[in-house]
Amino acid sequence: MNISLIGYGKMGKTIEQIALERKHNIISRIDLDTPISTITADNTQVAIEFSQPEAAFNNIKYCLENGIPIVCGTTGWLARQAEVHEICKHNKGTFFYSSNYSLGVNIFFHINKILAKIMAKYNVYDVNIEEIHHTEKKDAPSGTAITLAQGILHHQTQKENWVNQPTKNPHDLEIISKREPDVAGTHIISYNSEEDLIQITHQAHSRKGFALGAVLAAEFVKDKKGMLGMEDLLDLE
């Protein structure tokens, strides 16, 4: 399969390694020195986008308007998600998005929803999220933490919204973000009461798990249309 990489930082280079191991061709590597206009529907079967939050929307828009299926892993742009949905629908395009491409994290998302549904019955527990990433990560909270928060808020009706700071408001879901050197990504969900503490944790050991998931998503979207995500790839719903 012919793949173009949009964003060629550490993640892009790891995706390239995995894609080549899986016998795919890397057609273009889009960075500050190479314009996105070099990729077309004629030379690219799928684009994989891991750039920066401020660039992601325009990259997605370009691909959808030019008939290029796109797999996106950039976070921090979701305020414009509704626009992307409309652009994808209007152009009958293919857009695959996940806040995290790790197979383990997406299983963790599923477990988080199940646990949130169970714990909704027991209001003696208060729930919060902690996420730890490398110091180069610009957005906070992480997209993964937001996805986890959404899974909790769907079931925990006493929580009305998430906040990215310590809070004593019982209606706020607290997310604490930490940035430390050389951390691939850790997410901890805690349900705490006076009697005990229940926690589930996902800790990434390297970027390779994220890269493999992105390449698997690129393989999955070939010949598919519409809005897709890891729940489609893994058949978890």
Q: Which residues participate in catalysis according to the annotation?
A: 133, 137
Q: Is the CB of residue 139 less than 8 Å from the CB of residue 164?
A: no
Q: In angstroms, rounded to a whole number, what is the distance separating the alpha carbons of residues 218 and 215?
A: 5
Strands 2-6 and 46-49: parallel
- Nearest Cα neighbor of 88 from 52, 51, 63 is 63
Dihedral pair phi/psi, residue 104, rounded to 5°:
-65, -40
Strands 126-133 and 70-72: unpaired
Question: How distant, in Å, are the alpha carbons of 19, 75, 207 from that of 26?
Answer: 8, 23, 19
Question: Token pair 């995290």 is at which residue?
Answer: 100
